Amino acid sequence: MMGVSSAFLGTAFVSYVFATIFNVIGVTGRKIKQKDGKSARKSWFTWGYGVAVFGVAAQAIALVTRWIGSGHAPVSDMFEYMSFWAFCIMLAFVVISGVYKFPVLGAFVCPVGVFVLAYASVFSRTAEPLIPALQSYWLYIHVTTAALGEGIFTIGFAAAFMYLLRITNVQEKSRTGKFLEFTVFLFLALFSYVITALAFNAGAYSVQDQTSGSIYNIPPLVGPMGVALGSMTHWLGMSLPLFDVPNWLPGAKSGSNFNGIVWTLIAACIVYGILRLIANRPLVHYASKWVGDVEPEMLDELSYRAIAIGYPIFSLGALVFAMIWAQEAWGQFWSWDPKEVWALITWLYYTLYLHLRLTQGWQGKAAAWMAVGGFAVVLFLLIGVNLVIVGLHSYA
């Protein structure tokens, strides 16, 4: 069953990659003509959408088979959760794009889905048996609903990002242009981290620190607290670690987590630098062409629609169901655990977005930046809290 599940997950991943490629061709290849002289755009979009639907179906089968194989719903560790989030993003795309007939969205949402799924594959894939607190169906309900809400917020982010690209003249120097370029950089950072981690994974790289017992799967530029510099290993002629993690970072894994962040930044700078040199201009120039001639008002409205649809689902999944589960498992529906607090912060953030939009007339640029920022908050909720802060949810 687990083998079947992996095969379907692989199929889904390949489908998402193709959906991305088709959609990007759809938005860039305006000049490609069919035999009858009409632009081939539409058929690229149709194919892109079709492949995305196929991928979502394949991942749904992967989820069900993994559930059967492992005996628990596949949402209980970081690999499973991140894959599920990618599933939700793609599902939200398929539904929203289908309802609102908005093909351009695919070129921006599909790559996010691909990267989130690739990021998931960095984590261990073995289905671990569950500790007692996780053996509850409220957990499944809570996690799936929350992930669905976060998936829909991702659509809101993508549409807002497209809106900003559409209204900004990136040829001219502007603060918005710089911020957009920075967003592209952050996107590449996720990509670089995935590539780095997968490359060292493929080489089965592993170094263990003798004193703390922590295991590194990428070379330890940053050591655990209190390890003698240069004592852990040698890599490319360097004695590692080069420095130790600062002692104000809490958590047993703070060393390897911080090491991951340093690696991400280095790899991101290299990938970005190379692309920037080849392009010889800010990368956002390319992305800005993808948006083409879509009405900005449509993008603005779509971003807002997505957030308005996602907000109740997020409230239900990330707060209400979470409270019910905590009450059932620990007898305390709210214990100010960092993950809980960040779910609340995310909720407050989108609450502010909706109030600013509905009562203070924040539309267009300001609202779009808030939607983009909201995605950063969601990313911190899902990944940052686990890397930087530890708490009751530290098992995930």
Rg, Å, the chain Cα set: 22
Q: Comparing C-alpha atoms, which of 250, 271, 284 is closest to residue 195?
A: 271
> If DSSP codes are grouped into helix, strand and coil, which group holds residue 204?
coil
Give me the residues paired with residue 274 across strands: none
Contact code string over 274-303 relative to other proteins, x by CB under 8 A: -----------------------x---xx-
The answer to whether 231 and 244 are in contact (CB under 8 A) is no
Q: Tokens for 144, please give them.
A: 């799936």
Q: Tokens for 16, please give them.
A: 């998402």
Considering only 39-47, 103-111, 208-216, 313-321, which stretch makes contact with other proteins by CB under 8 A?
313-321
Considering only 52-60, 119-127, 190-198, 347-355, which stretch makes contact with other proteins by CB under 8 A?
347-355
Q: According to the binding rule CB under 8 A, does residue 391 interact with other proteins?
A: yes
Among 124, 169, 171, 332, binds other proteins (CB under 8 A): 332
Among 309, 318, 367, 382, binds other proteins (CB under 8 A): 309
Nearer to other proteins, 45 or 304 (CB): 304
According to DSSP, residue 237 is labeled: T
Contact code string over 221-250 relative to other proteins, x by CB under 8 A: ---------------------------x-x
Considering only 18-26, 103-111, 274-282, 326-334, which stretch makes contact with other proteins by CB under 8 A?
326-334
Contact code string over 202-221 relative to other proteins, x by CB under 8 A: --------------------
Nearer to other proteins, 243 or 330 (CB): 330
Q: According to the binding rule CB under 8 A, does residue 320 interact with other proteins?
A: yes
**Cβ neighbours of 315 (radius 10 Å):** 18
**Cβ neighbours of 112 (radius 10 Å):** 24
Phi-psi region of 12 (alpha: psi -120 to 50; beta: other; left: phi over 0): alpha
Q: According to the binding rule CB under 8 A, does residue 135 interact with other proteins?
A: yes
Q: According to the binding rule CB under 8 A, does residue 331 interact with other proteins?
A: yes
Q: According to the binding rule CB under 8 A, does residue 359 interact with other proteins?
A: yes
Q: Cβ-count burial of 387 within 10 angstroms (0-12 exposed, 13-18 middle, 19+ buried)?
A: middle
Among 261, 323, 383, 387, binds other proteins (CB under 8 A): 323
Considering only 71-79, 84-92, 178-186, 327-335, which stretch makes contact with other proteins by CB under 8 A?
327-335
Among 2, 324, 379, 383, binds other proteins (CB under 8 A): 324
Q: Tokens for 281, please give them.
A: 């201009």
The answer to whether 237 and 220 are in contact (CB under 8 A) is no
Helices (H), the chain: 2-28, 41-70, 78-100, 106-120, 137-167, 175-202, 254-279, 284-291, 296-314, 322-330, 338-359, 365-379, 385-388
Nearer to other proteins, 206 or 351 (CB): 351
Rounded Cα distance between 312 and 310, Å, is 6
Q: Comparing C-alpha atoms, which of 258, 286, 263, 283 is closest to residue 273?
A: 283
Q: How far is the CB of 115 from other proteins (least distance, A)?
A: 26
Q: According to the binding rule CB under 8 A, does residue 98 interact with other proteins?
A: no
Binding region for other proteins (CB under 8 A): 100, 129, 131-133, 135-136, 248, 250, 297, 301-302, 305, 308-309, 311-312, 315-316, 319-320, 323-324, 327-333, 336, 338, 341-342, 344-345, 348-349, 351-352, 355-356, 358-361, 363, 385, 389, 391
